Amino acid sequence: MTGLFVTLEGGEGAGKSTQARLLAARLERDGHAVLLTREPGGSPGAERLRALLLAGDHGLGLGSEILLHVAARMDHLERTILPALEAGQIVICDRFGDSTLAYQGYGMADGDPAVLAFIHGVAAVAYRAPDLTLLLDMPRTLARDRLIARGDPTDRYERLDEAFHQRVAAGFRAIAAAEPDRVVTVDGSLPQDTVLDRLLDSIRARLVP
């Protein structure tokens, strides 16, 4: 048996985590075995790395920061994601490798081709690629309003400036354009139920009957 590996991606305030929870609940109601998980994190070791990565200033350079995200991801894959897929489950993962490309590659390194090539190279040898990636895209002004309503920023990436978040959003769009078969973009500014229905349609289209 092989399950289905679905990742959710997008900038801050796009509603990803809410949609991930709703998706998992709906698919379970349809009778599927579902694993809902997130990055950075999703295994005990990776959750420890999450605390380091998201806390104030970890004092590491960009290359080390990228490799820490990769280290967390490898542990998450080995201990959580791959066993669930082998058991035939649908894995819904809130963020995965595209977040490293968008945040570290496009956001922090401003799309530096050498950094993008480094991240792609590690991904090619270290990851099981998602079967489907759902990108929640929405205008930054709307995402920012949602974040302001949510309260103080909680992690170091959220606290970075508007230009950084614009580069991240452009990065996600570039990833979607480069891999149209894997990445489906959904407008996150639509009503929550409409977004959920579109995400579910994409997943159901990939489930083996």
* Interface with ligand TMP (CB under 6 A): 12, 39-40, 54, 69, 95, 99-100, 103-104, 155, 157-158
Closest distance to ligand TMP from the beta carbon of 208 (Å)? 28
Residue (2 or 154) nearer to ligand TMP, CB = 154
Minimum distance between the CB of residue 73 and ligand TMP, rounded to whole angstroms? 7
CA distances from 84 to 4, 49, 92 (A): 9, 22, 11
Which tokens sit at 166? 């614009």
Minimum distance from residue 165 beta carbon to ligand TMP (Å): 10
Q: Distances from the Cα of 93 to the Cαs of 18, 42, 120, 170, in angstroms? A: 12, 9, 19, 21
**Which of residues 19 and 104 has its CB atom nearest to ligand TMP in the complex?**
104
40: cis peptide before it, omega within 30°? yes
Q: How far is the CB of 104 from ligand TMP (least distance, A)?
A: 6
Name the residue nearer to ligand TMP (CB basis): 3 or 105: 105
Q: Name which of 78 and 155 has its Cβ closer to ligand TMP.
A: 155
